[in-house]
Amino acid sequence: MPDIMLLLTCLSQSLDSTNRRRFVCVVEGLLSMTGRVTMLGLSRWTERGGSYRTLQRFFNSTLSWGQLHWLLILQHLLGDETEWLLAGDEVVVTKSGKQTHGLDRFFSSVFGKTVPGLCFLSLSLISVQRRCSYPLRLEPIIKEAAETCPKAPKVAKDTDQDKGKDKGKGKGKGKGKGKGPGRPKGSTNRNRREVSLSPYLQFVQGVLRQVLALVSQALTVRYFVFDGAFGHNQALQMVRRTGLELMSKLRHNSALHLPYDGPYSGRGRRRKYGIRLDYHQLPAAFLKATSVEGHIHTAIYQMNAWHKTFPDLLNVVVIVKTNQRTGAKAHVVLFSSDLDLGYEKLIDYYHLRFQIEFNFRDAKQHWGLEDFMVVKETPVYNSANLALFMTTLSQVLIRPFRERCPAFSVNDLKALFRGRKYVLETLKSLPQMPEPIIIEQIIAQTSQLGRINQDLRAT
């Protein structure tokens, strides 16, 4: 049976003795409890020293969760892996009422609409070899901050009277005062590498830099993976300023152009943009791989292409799927700022980003990300980060059991600790405690009652 106190000794660098003792008590309660994960429900499953008032003090404490996440990963999960990715995504937690800090309406892909709740930005380390995601930071997104982003001024529509006044102006070479062809007088070229970042991108950049400063001494991270929300130049420049390369997804109808390789006209600057890509008739020269699964034909294309809103070439991978029965086609456009990255790795790394969704699933299903009922800023922040911390700790606890039972799950882990809880509480009523080896045998047998997979006994 794993010793939680021993596993969490590594957190002593960031927690004082009081909060560390409370933390261990909370973790043991979470591992054995059933029902909704609230402070009241948790206090019913904790040992002595885990009263409801003590839990209130713990959740109102200021904790350095970024360092706690990293210390656990550094001590128990870093192995011989050489390839690491940094990935990000947002998670929406539904909430009712009006008093919870950060409460607003956010779009939830689960419900397919905006819902009242909280939104968090999560950054995770992904091991390419183990194909697992380990959360590093979880920060709340305040919608008011995003709304402070400067917007383009609205252009007033011309009325018929205005059109009559301007009639005859601006014709010819545009020398009049009216609207004429060409660029406005006095306008200058814009450097698309020196873009101004929105408050949201500044927030993400700040979190990214804090994470990189935390992990840079132990491992090297080169790529940052995000979903299609970062498929624009401002996000690319933001990520590059942190020293990382971006992998994301473009819109399905993005206007991409091949580099121009025709003859020079003899005057002016050389042409930059060649033919525009037609996603239904991609050049065969860029075809990298094909496969057929059932009646679905998949073709993968890779090329370096220009997008007129990006200052540099993009490494683009287009995945085209064709239904051979109906002829229907669909495609996805992935891109990276690293021009030397092969298509296999680009696709594989983007697929690995979905491991974050499994962290969110476990945090909501088992560790109370959807259940906490606190409303103030510090308890909300602590409750959400505790749920993500438990997803990492559960991977630490599950790993030795997977050697004997590859299908060992979080439900099996909780059944093991719940059986231990029942046995220890029952043995307290005996006049004399049995030998430790007998206690372990009873715990192993009792934990079979709530199992999902076979053979839960520890090695």
Residue 365: phi and psi, rounded to 5, are -80, -35
Q: What does the pLDDT read at residue 144?
A: 62
β 329-336/287-293 pair status: unpaired
- Quick one: average pLDDT of 83-95? 94
Of 29, 111, 142, 104, the C-alpha closest to 386 is: 29
pLDDT digits (tens, 9 = 90+) for 105-164: 999 988 999 999 999 999 999 999 999 999 999 999 987 654 544 444 444 444 444 444
Cα 137 from Cα 121, distance rounded (Å): 8
> Who's near 179: CB < 8 A, 6+ residues apart?
166, 169, 170
> Who's near 131: CB < 8 A, 6+ residues apart?
352, 355
pLDDT digits (tens, 9 = 90+) for 425-452: 888 888 888 888 888 888 777 777 777 7
Amino acid at 298: T
Of 368, 377, 367, the C-alpha closest to 142 is: 377
pLDDT digits (tens, 9 = 90+) for 201-223: 999 999 999 999 999 889 999 99
416 or 2: which leads in pLDDT: 416
Cα 32 from Cα 95, distance rounded (Å): 25
Which DSSP category does 453 fall into? S
- Least confident piece of the model among 169-178, 248-257, 330-339: 169-178
Q: Say if CB 250 and CB 231 are below 8 A apart.
A: yes
Structure tokens at 152: 């383009």
Residue 262 confidence (pLDDT) above 80: yes
Q: Say if CB 106 and CB 121 are below 8 A apart.
A: no
Q: What does the pLDDT read at residue 455?
A: 59
Residue 395 confidence (pLDDT) above 50: yes
Residue 331 confidence (pLDDT) above 60: yes
- Least confident piece of the model among 77-91, 137-151, 248-262, 379-393: 137-151
436 or 6: which leads in pLDDT: 6
- Least confident piece of the model among 12-21, 116-125, 181-190: 181-190
pLDDT digits (tens, 9 = 90+) for 284-294: 999 999 999 99
Q: What does the pLDDT read at residue 267?
A: 84
Name the band, by pLDDT with cuts 50, 70 and 90, for residue 273: very high
Residue 388: phi and psi, rounded to 5, are -70, -35
Q: What does the pLDDT read at residue 434?
A: 81
- Quick one: average pLDDT of 85-103? 92
Q: What does the pLDDT read at residue 2?
A: 75
Average pLDDT of every residue of the chain: 88
Helix (H) or strand (E) holding 117: strand 113-127
Q: What does the pLDDT read at residue 447?
A: 74
